[in-house]
Structure 1
Amino acid sequence: MTTHTSYAKFQSEGMELVVNTPVETQLQNDDLRSAAVVWEEMFASAKHSIDIAQFYVYNQSNSSLDQVLNALHQAGERGVKIRFLLDQKGVDISNPETIQRIQAIPHLELRIMDFSKIENGIIHAKYFIVDDKVAFVGSQNFDWRALTHIHETGLAIHQINLVQQIARIFQVDWINQARIHQGKALETFSQHQILNDPKKESYLLASPAQVTPNETYITEEAFPKLIATAQSEINIQVMQYSPLSFTETKGKRAFYPLIDNSLRAAAAKGVKVNLMVADWNVKEPDLSWLKSLALIPNIHIKIVTIPKSKQGFIPFARVVHSKYMTIDHHTAWVGTSNWSGGYFDSSRNLEVVLNDEHMARRLDMLYEQLWTSPYAQDIDVQKKYMRVNPAKE
């Protein structure tokens, strides 16, 4: 059985930074706990309820996720009520054995939601809530590879106002799953809170607007305001960057300018913008957009390649999947969205924004570790890159 290394916690203002880095790399951080350790602890502490939302699930025997599933099963055996929400499209990339194992947990109800019925999106957020007191939001999928072979970043959240908002979002999706299944009208919302002060303490952003409760800020509305606050430097790490939608219409992807325009505007006023993306991003037309962005003064882009494991090739692994940002070494963003069309506008995603210098500077250290590592290389606008196929060697 896999054993976990128990590192010290890095906490600030009711938030714990939770990071997974690929084994067999130079990217270890002894002051940060991994998601497997935190998830097991949270499930073991549950007294009455656990709500989980995931895009897909994929376990392997004797993995870290195996132990997490054991902890979830033990919670069910204690009588904890567990609700598990899975995306319909995610079922196709889940392994059936993991779904069956989840269904066999006592006091657990599994629902499959066709989120494509809502603005053609998916449940891309990866989050859960325990006892309505603590929540987890991060890039980590419910996948054994995310806990061992992928760079991931998340937050264990103890700020009760944010936990309550996340719980409300889960409840909306849980109800809407049933309404979609029954052919009934969705519970929808309008007239959301407007973010007037992006530099306020901590707050939650969510998408899509149509099914996000009124008390939560909308990602599309808040994102450009947040970027516009930058005065000196923005550090961004995402798996994928592309100002295009992820759905095709007659072989073409629609232009999605929100993120690209915001970063170009920041660079134009003298802000240094650093962007790291995964080597999975070096495919057309995404690569051409990356090269175009790299030509802008004050914008520096690196492509990150994680070496193959000693175990050999592992499909859909050995990649940077974290989705976080810091602004001026003071504001931190930790979320679940890739930075392209479809994530901020039509899919369920969550982003946590912290105006917390202590957290922002620790994320900057994490960023610098990867930025200066041998795995990150400057983009070459003249180079013809070979497309990476994450499914095949």
Structure 2
Amino acid sequence: MNGCGGARQAASPPASAAREATAREVSAASIQLVESAPLETTLDRPDVPNAADTWVAMIDGAKRTLDFAEFYASEAEGKDLASSRLTAVIDATLRATKRGVKVRFLADASFLSKYPQVLARFEREGIAVRTIDYGKLAGGILHAKYFVVDGEESFVGSQNFDWRALTHIQEMGVRVRSKEIAGALLDVLDTDWELAGGSPRETRVRQHALADGVIAEHGERLTLVASPKGWLPSETEWDLPKLVALLDGAKQSIDVQVLTYKAKSRSGEAFTTLDDALRRAASRGVHVRLLVSEWSIKPGSDGRKALDDLAHVKNVDVRAIVIPPFSGGEIPFARVAHAKYMIVDGAHGWVGTSNWEGDYFDRTRNVGIIADGGALPTSLERFFEGNWTSGYVSPLKAPDDASAPRPASTDSARR
């Protein structure tokens, strides 16, 4: 699935003066939280739009182009198909092609053999589809989940293009109306699109200005960040140092929710960059709250060891969120909290696609949005507080404690 339809040629970098990012008023820019909530839970927030509805509305509004970069694409089968909310998204995408919208879909090669059906259908319907082997390129995967509409608005979030992500997993994303953010995302996507098409490993597409300092309508200063280091249209977009800067600037509080948290990379090499930053914050009196999924607390795992060690630090509170099973039967790789976001001092927010492990920043393609000031961090804080105080969250317990959150088998493909 490496058809050449929809290819865009890599451009030479414009002059550095044109690349300098400065804060600027963009009256049309806005950012909005978008959630997914597991069925049969009380986690659905009435004031936060649902991803399935938002995706369909965005896709139906496309007039010229739709550009997707997704880890994989997976539709329900059998008895689950009737209730799948991804079906409407797929149908909207196919409607877009029929009205002349140019659609591209980029996915990671690692899941193609497991989930070939949606991509094959897209190709049959005239959508340009490519897969990229990020393992060969950088040692990781295309883990990002985002799409861009008409080069003007974007969706970035933890939701995979997967029916389970819309109905059986807690997720968090953002809908961003900004040509600057959309353009910077397209540079990332176009870089990967060209690499997937066989362009030299050195290919980097830089056709737009950096999205750093976009002022949204409610006062948020928006910045696009991405990974991995060494594979970015501009290396100044690398997310890890920007996250560390937010943590090091914290004065009162840090609230983080991620699927998994480790102080090691998958190779076994130490990765303490974020862990050290949290400890520095706690040592200066900042109250740190870390919320992880049950996938991160398997007894004896590297993740559990890192969490247990961090939980013993003064001013740090670590808890796990457990989503109960679905009454309709087991759903593999679902019924979990998969969101990835952070709030610092109630005034700075990050929503992204990276779990907090070294590979996600050094080897794997991810993207995120940082919002400084404005309404978005406040909304994100309310969302975190609702999780933290819910009946689904418990402090870490000793592995042999019967009241500990139940461990679950982890998806080895790194969702």
Q: Does the TM-score normalized on the shorter chain lie above 0.5? A: yes
Compare relative contact order (CA 8 Å, sep 6+) and give the higher one, 1 or 2: 2
Give 1:238's aligned residue.
Answer: 258
- Secondary structure of 2:52's partner? helix
Does the aligned pair in 2 maintain the 1:315–1:390 contact within 8 Å? no
Give 2:40's aligned residue.
Answer: 24
Once the 2 structures are TM-superposed, how far is the Cα of residue 220 of structure 1 from its aligned partner?
Answer: 2.2
Once the 2 structures are TM-superposed, how far is the Cα of residue 93 of structure 1 from its aligned partner?
Answer: 3.9
Counterpart check, 1:104 vs 2:124: yes
Match for residue 380 of structure 1 among 372, 394, 397: 397
- Distance in 2 separating the partners of 1:216 and 1:296: 32
Does the aligned pair in 2 maintain the 1:56–1:142 contact within 8 Å? yes
Give 1:129's aligned residue.
Answer: 148
Give 1:276's aligned residue.
Answer: 291
Provide closer, same or farther for how the CA distance between residues 301 and 383 of structure 1 changes in structure 2, counting only shifts above 3 A: farther
Give 1:9's aligned residue.
Answer: none
- Distance in 2 separating the partners of 1:109 and 1:159: 25
Counterpart check, 1:50 vs 2:66: yes
Counterpart check, 1:73 vs 2:90: no
Once the 2 structures are TM-superposed, how far is the Cα of residue 221 of structure 1 from its aligned partner?
Answer: 2.4
Give the residue type in structure 1 aligned to 2:175.
Answer: A
- Distance in 2 separating the partners of 1:162 and 1:216: 15
- Distance in 1 separating the partners of 2:367 and 2:243: 12
- Distance in 2 separating the partners of 1:208 and 1:215: 9
- Distance in 2 separating the partners of 1:335 and 1:383: 34
Provide closer, same or farther for how the CA distance between residues 382 and 150 of structure 1 changes in structure 2, counting only shifts above 3 A: closer
Does the aligned pair in 2 maintain the 1:206–1:216 contact within 8 Å? no
Give the residue type in structure 1 aligned to 2:194.
Answer: I
- Secondary structure of 1:314's partner? coil
Once the 2 structures are TM-superposed, how far is the Cα of residue 105 of structure 1 from its aligned partner?
Answer: 2.4
- Distance in 2 separating the partners of 1:380 and 1:311: 29
Q: Could you list the per-position Cα deviations for residues 207-261 of structure 1 after superposition, in whole angstroms to 9, with x for gaps in the alignment?
A: 1122211275211222211111100001111000011112x3xxxx111111111
Q: Could you list the per-position Cα deviations for residues 94-140 of structure 1 after superposition, in whole angstroms to 9, with x for gaps in the alignment?
A: 2x32222222223x110011111222011000001111011110000
Counterpart check, 1:202 vs 2:222: yes
Counterpart check, 1:354 vs 2:354: no
Counterpart check, 1:293 vs 2:313: no
Give the residue type in structure 2 aligned to 1:319.
Answer: V
Provide closer, same or farther for how the CA distance between residues 109 and 237 of structure 1 changes in structure 2, counting only shifts above 3 A: same
Percent pairwise identity: 34
Give 1:222's aligned residue.
Answer: 242
- Secondary structure of 1:224's partner? helix
Does the aligned pair in 1 maintain the 2:190–2:205 contact within 8 Å? no
Provide closer, same or farther for how the CA distance between residues 200 and 119 of structure 1 changes in structure 2, counting only shifts above 3 A: same
- Distance in 2 separating the partners of 1:222 and 1:351: 11
Does the aligned pair in 2 maintain the 1:326–1:333 contact within 8 Å? yes
Q: Could you list the per-position Cα deviations for residues 349-369 of structure 1 after superposition, in whole angstroms to 9, with x for gaps in the alignment?
A: 011000134211111111111
- Distance in 2 separating the partners of 1:383 and 1:264: 27
| TM-score normalised by L of structure 1 | 0.88
Give 1:5's aligned residue.
Answer: none
- Secondary structure of 2:192's partner? helix
Gaps of 5+ in 2: 1-27, 214-218
RMSD over aligned CA atoms reads 2.3
Counterpart check, 1:341 vs 2:377: no
Once the 2 structures are TM-superposed, how far is the Cα of residue 46 of structure 1 from its aligned partner?
Answer: 0.9
- Secondary structure of 2:233's partner? coil
- Secondary structure of 2:230's partner? helix
- Secondary structure of 1:122's partner? coil
- Distance in 1 separating the partners of 2:92 and 2:236: 31
Once the 2 structures are TM-superposed, how far is the Cα of residue 179 of structure 1 from its aligned partner?
Answer: 2.4
- Distance in 2 separating the partners of 1:125 and 1:146: 14
Give 1:6's aligned residue.
Answer: none
Give the residue type in structure 2 aligned to 1:134.
Answer: E
Once the 2 structures are TM-superposed, how far is the Cα of residue 189 of structure 1 from its aligned partner?
Answer: 9.0
Match for residue 31 of structure 2 among 6, 15, 21: 15
Once the 2 structures are TM-superposed, how far is the Cα of residue 310 of structure 1 from its aligned partner?
Answer: 1.3
- Secondary structure of 1:255's partner? coil
Give 1:40's aligned residue.
Answer: 56
Matched length: 367
| TM-score normalised by L of structure 2 | 0.84
Once the 2 structures are TM-superposed, how far is the Cα of residue 188 of structure 1 from its aligned partner?
Answer: 4.7
- Distance in 2 separating the partners of 1:354 and 1:166: 16
Does the aligned pair in 1 maintain the 2:229–2:235 contact within 8 Å? no
Give the residue type in structure 2 aligned to 1:83.
Answer: R
